[in-house]
Homo-oligomer: A and B are copies of this chain.
Amino acid sequence: MTKNFSTYLKENAGITDDVIEQLSGKLQFREFQKGQFVLNEGQVCKQFFYVEKGLLRLYSIDCAGKEHIIQFASEGWFISDRSSVYFNKPSAFFIDAVEDTRVALLDEDLICFLGEISPQFRKYNEHLLQNHIRHLQNRVNLLISATAESRYLDFIKLYPNLTQRVPQWMIASYLGITPESLSRVRKELVKK
């Protein structure tokens, strides 16, 4: 349930020990309690957050006051509002803690620095970007082509662990339906 950032970089991005060494002094960590805000709408997002332990969510709130979840991030995942960071614009989204969470903070300076001293990191960063696009494009495709039921089946297949940890109404919010609808979708599924 805990994934240390340094070992994550070693195992997944092939980052060498001497780079980890140089990183260790510059890396900052923070803890967020359940419900605490990590990013507020209107704020310019300055960092990426690597989740070592816990669970964060990125979401918007519409004019009727309803939340719509764009992304979850549990252990071993990054979360941020990329557009806000890259274009230095106020974010239209919120990030808060679904559980008590510990994150590693990565600001642009640090990412640039790592990119300069480590080609592996540069490559891995590119990999994360491409993966992000693949994921978003697939999600758009499902939202315009698939029923609520098949989107839900896709979700529990992709994120079996999240299905256990995230309250059902948040999954509904991620799928773009109401909690009541998801409850009925699930009821239909157990029938089969």
Chain A residues proximal to chain B, CB less than 8 Å: 60, 62, 66, 68-70, 82-83, 86-87, 92, 129-130, 132-134, 136-137, 139-141, 143-146, 173-176
Contact = CB atoms under 8 A, between A and B. Distances in A.
| Shortest beta-carbon contacts, A-B, top 7 | A144-B176, A136-B136, A83-B134, A143-B143, A68-B145, A86-B130, A68-B144
12 contacts: A60-B145, A66-B145, A68-B145, A70-B137, A82-B130, A82-B133, A83-B137, A92-B141, A129-B130, A140-B140, A143-B176, A144-B176
A164 to B, nearest CB: 22
Contact of A145 (B87, B141, B176): B176
B134 A133 contact: no
Number of chain copies forming the complex: 2
A136 B140 contact: yes
A98 to B, nearest CB: 18
A140 B70 contact: yes
Contact of A62 (B66, B82, B87, B145): B145
Nearest to A93: B141
Contacts of A69: 144
A130 B66 contact: no
Contact of A141 (B66, B68, B146): B68
